[in-house]
Amino acid sequence: MKILLLEDNKKLNQTIKKRLELKGYKVFNYIDGQEAMDKITEGFSCFILDINVPNVDGIKILKKIREYYKEVPVIIISGTVELDIIKESYDFGCNDYLKKPFFIDELEIKIGRLCKIKNDLIYFGQDCTFDYKSSSITISDEVHRLTKKERLLVNLFLTKKNQVLSYEMIENYVWEGSFASIESIRSLIRRLRRIIKDDYIQTVVDTGYIFKSD
């Protein structure tokens, strides 16, 4: 799982990064708000934001994140005791707030709670289920194991059912911020269509795809 960390205290920044990487997370850490702002669309599963940082503050970044992602967890970490700022953080969509100083264990617990997959088993049609935990799709009792990219794409489709997903959105989420050509995305779609078979995945010309499901 990719995490974006924004914290301008270099020592705390490195401490958080090291601890979270020991848990198996991929942590991309920044001390400058503008640098973090420029990276928010690169496929992160969680954001950890300090408020008072250089150039662009954490609240502005939180607002921008919510323009792209309504459900990706955002944790604010800050030393402020001003109730108006804390309230503003929640008003703009932060999921949790940690006041400095805090134990890194507290942050780990919050990340684990907020980023937990709520439903391992998702039904998307008659006799069709997706099991995130085992990376498999079951159709009429036939189990199909998925590769990592297939699993990520299915998860994206099922969390955004009946919504148009652009090539860029698929690239950012499935390739976790790395470059993917249009042909690579189309190849992945073809593989998934061979598994699902029914016309759930529909092409939106020159834009991307939509997963049609009741």
CATH number of domain containing 154: 1.10.10.10
Domain extent at residue 21: 2-114
Task: Say if residue 99 is in the same domain as residue 6.
Answer: yes
Going from the C-alpha of 155 to that of each of 54, 71, 147, the distances in angstroms are 35, 13, 12
pLDDT tens for 77-115 read: 988 767 787 888 888 889 999 988 888 888 988 898 887
CB 55 within 8 A of CB 34: yes
Indicate the residue among 89, 114, 139 that finishes a domain. 114
* Number of domain units in the chain: 2
Model pTM above 0.75 = no
Indicate the residue among 54, 88, 114 that finishes a domain. 114
Task: Say if residue 156 is in the same domain as residue 88.
Answer: no
Indicate the residue among 114, 134, 168 that finishes a domain. 114
pLDDT for 103: 85
Task: Say if residue 148 is in the same domain as residue 89.
Answer: no
